[in-house]
Structure 1
Amino acid sequence: MPRSFADFCAVVFMCFAIPAIYVFEVFIVAPTIYNATLSVLHGIAGTFIVANIIGNFIAIMLVDTSTQGLLLPSQVPSGWHVCAACESTAPARSRHCNTCNVCVLKKEHHCVFTGCCVGLKNHRYFYIFLFYMWGSTLYCSFLNAFFIWPHVGGFSMWAVVRLLLPGVWILWEPSLDTLYAFLFSINVIGFLFMTVLIFYYTGLLVTNTTTYENNNRKGQKYDHGTEHNIKVTLGERWYLTWIFPTISSPLTYDGLDWSNQISSRSVRPKTR
């Protein structure tokens, strides 16, 4: 569960926004723009995409990527460090999260929209969630541009202003047309935000670098080529992970040994 008020608000927003926009696009926009056949195909494709978005969104929160329960050595191996907050040794590339209050394997960042950290074991779900969100908001923003104008009084400067201030407009003039305009604006804002994120995190993915390492220029030694780097995050079967989050794709590293040699592909057993 989210551990801060900001995380809680962001998670609640995502839980309402994703299904609301899905219903809007599939059952309201598509039948207006497309004929019956294309509308059905649009609904099938939209259902597949939203299933992946929700599935990966849930997986980010459910997959534990912390060091809790792992058998950690009492002495500090080379490249490791001691976490004062956890009072234990911590592997290379792991960092402590003050919000989650745990050390996270290959910590990428703390994600406000899922209320948890993104690390080694759930990074795959985060990136694919991000990719599908970017692609869907891009498509929906384009599609909605043909749908929205009759509902805001036609193309005019006043209509553009109302679309730029969706929150103010929906409070000032609540109506179904205003709600449509609000969802249109949410899509456009989401697309712009996701474009920045997908560009940034794709750069980190293909270089096998975390945000912390990138900011401190410490990730170059983990870059062993694009294919290797993609497998570190998406797993050996990275080409199948896009189909659905339940598809198995074993990771090439366990998060404990980051030597240049091939490390164990199995995660060490957790204590009970």
Structure 2
Amino acid sequence: MLKLRLLNAVAPAYFFTATAVTFIFHFGFFIPTIFPSQGISLDGSKVLHTVIFLFLMFNALGNYIMTIKYPAESANETVIPVCSPHCSDKVDAHYLLNGRHFCKLCKKVILKRDHHCFFTGNCIGNKNMRYFIMFCIYTSCTCLYSLVLGVAFLTVEYSISFENPLTFLTLLPFSTGYFFMGTISGLQLFLVLMLYVWLGIGLVCAGFCCQQVLLVARGQTWCQMQRGQLAENCNPWRANLKDVFGTRWMLGLILPVQTVETCSEDHRHNIQH
């Protein structure tokens, strides 16, 4: 549990550090080098790439904040229930009845808990699933876009050709060797390392996003899948997606704004009982 609590604190710090580094690389190296200023006139390509990057970064950070702002805990729990001694969830949460979990890291009862996200420091459930999915989408796009501009920067600044796919695969080991021989600087090695970080985070977020959308469409959560439970939701996939993304889902694709009622699950639970 101590390792999980430590990860819960380190992961957000890592996310903000990577975000700051990405921002610095874009406006301190990539944009000025790839699109050098020509007099006082504004270059259309430079403006376009700047707007695209800021749009992606704004949505990634905005949905990150919304995921934290609208947590998934139940607003009606006044007493923390005791888990059954036969509960198999011994790592970070205890399974309760009616699709509820008590998260030992959040110390809250979570409705329709999917998983605990260490990068946001809280649990992901029905109330903040939409923001989490959009956070994954825009984080993936930001990282892969940064990767493309990073490769373009190396091509322009150091005349490195990436026509051969092996060039990228061997870039890090060769750069590490050149660094210890004193041929390249630590900043250049760090940039090469960030290319692989952007690639890794981008692919992981994209894969994780596809998995979450599939689970939402099936009306299932990651916790249920881990426990081998079949989804009891008989609604069609369109209704399941609407329940998470809301009726204004198109607006939510371009802006980190609230598109679903955050208290709908508790309200429905009270009506049914």
Asked if these proteins are the same fold (TM beyond 0.5), I'd say yes
Distance 1:230 1:34, change over 3 A: farther
Give the aligned partner of residue 247 of structure 2. 236
Aligned to 2:46: 39
Deviation string for 1:86-121 (max 9, x for gaps)? 9xx966222111211221111010001111111122
Structure 1, unpaired ranges of 5+? 75-81, 265-272
Deviation at 1:47, TM superposition (A): 1.1
Report the Cα offset of residue 256 of structure 1: 6.5
Q: Does 1:84 align with 2:88?
A: no
Once the two structures are TM-superposed, the CA of residue 228 in structure 1 deviates from its matched residue by 0.8
Deviation at 1:223, TM superposition (A): 4.5
**Structure 2 residue aligned with 1:146:** 152
- Higher-helix-fraction structure: 2
Give the corresponding residue for 1:270: none
Shift in alpha-carbon separation, 1:24–1:223, aligned structure 2, 3 A:
farther
Alpha-carbon deviations, 1:20-52, whole Å to 9, x = none?
213323442234334721111111121122111
Q: Is the 8 A contact 1:127 1:201 kept in 2?
A: yes
Distance across 1 between alignment mates of 2:106 and 2:179: 35
Q: 2:138 aligns with which of 129, 132, 138?
A: 132
Classify the secondary structure of the residue corresponding to 1:95: strand
State the shift of 1:152 in Å: 7.0
Q: Pick from 239, 256, 259 the counterpart of residue 245 of structure 1.
A: 256
Q: Aligned residue for 1:77?
A: none
SS state of the match for residue 109, structure 2?
A: strand
Superposition map of 1:1-272 within 5 A: 4-34=5-35, 36-67=43-74, 69-70=75-76, 83-84=81-82, 92-149=98-155, 154=160, 160-163=169-172, 175-250=186-261, 253-255=264-266, 257=268
Cα 1:152–1:161 shift into 2, 3 Å: farther
When normalised by structure 2's length, the TM-score is 0.75
1:203-243 deviation per Cα after TM superposition (whole angstroms, max 9, x unaligned):
11222210012233434321422221112212222221123
Q: 1-side partners of 2:115 and 2:177: how far apart? A: 32
Q: Return the offset for 1:150.
A: 6.4
Cα distance between partner residues in 1 of 2:224 and 2:176: 38
Letter in 2 for 1:210: T
Structure 2: segments with no counterpart, 5+ residues = 37-42, 85-94
Alignment check: 8 A CA contact 1:149 1:155 kept: yes
* CA displacement at 1:186 relative to structure 2: 1.4
Structure 2 distance, partners of 1:167, 1:61, is 38
Q: Does structure 2 conserve the Cα–Cα contact (< 8 Å) formed by 1:235 and 1:252? A: no
- Cα contact 2:71–2:122 (8 A) shared by 1: no
The alpha-carbon distance between structure 1 residues 166 and 251, as it changes in their structure 2 partners (threshold 3 A), is farther
Shift, 1:62, TM fit: 2.4
- Opposite residue 83 of structure 1, the aligned amino acid is P
Cα offset, 1:127, TM superposition: 0.7
Contact 2:140 2:205 in 1 (8 A): yes
> How far did 1:64 drift?
2.9
Residue pair 1:92, 1:258 contacting (<8 A) in 2 also: no
Sort the Cα spacing of 1:216 and 1:130 in 2 relative to 1 into closer, same or farther, 3 A: same
Paired residues, number: 249
Q: Distance in 1 between matches of 2:268 and 2:198?
A: 41
Calculate the TM-score normalised by the size of structure 1: 0.76
**Does the residue aligned with 1:4 lie in a helix, a strand or coil?**
helix
